[in-house]
Structures are given as structure tokens and as C-alpha cells.
């Protein structure tokens, strides 16, 4: 049982590390795009905005996250 839990824990940590690396890569890509990019979820709530989108809308990222996209635009 201990060995199974250890392997599971190791697998979870490895997945978390890969997810973190993907997240950092996505953030770097969004920051480098010269066009405004707003990422919304299925409900139309803002999940990410790149610096160009923030500048064009006049919103801060902290204020825009979780807001309906129609409110920010």
C-alpha cells in the first residue's frame, strides 16, 4: 500500500509540474502577442488578458478576471 501511495504521489507531483510548465509557457506566449487577446471560459467570463488587451480596455487584470467579457469590452 505504501509503495502504491508513493507512486501515486510521485505521479501527481509530476503532473503538477508539467501543468505549471505549460501555464508558464502559455503566459509567455500571451505576453508576446502583439494583438489584444482575451481568454474566456464557456460562460463568457474572462480568465486571461494579455497586456495589449489590458491597455486597450483600460482594465487591470485583477479587476477584469472573472468579469463577463461584454462588461470589459
Cell match 483600460: residue?
58
**CA distance to 5, 7, 41, 67, 72, per residue, from 47 (Å):** 34, 33, 7, 8, 12
pLDDT at 39: 94
Per-residue pLDDT tens for 43-58?
999 999 999 999 999 9
pTM given for the model: 0.70
Pairwise CA distance, residues 63 & 34, whole Å: 22
Amino acid at each position: 500500500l505504501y509503495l502504491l501511495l508513493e507512486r501515486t504521489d510521485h505521479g501527481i507531483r509530476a503532473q503538477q509540474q508539467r501543468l505549471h510548465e505549460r501555464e508558464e509557457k502559455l503566459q509567455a506566449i500571451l505576453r508576446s502577442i502583439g494583438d489584444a487577446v482575451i481568454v474566456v471560459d464557456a460562460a463568457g467570463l474572462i480568465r486571461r488578458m494579455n497586456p495589449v488587451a489590458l491597455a486597450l480596455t483600460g482594465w487591470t487584470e485583477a479587476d477584469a478576471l472573472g468579469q463577463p467579457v461584454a462588461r470589459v469590452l
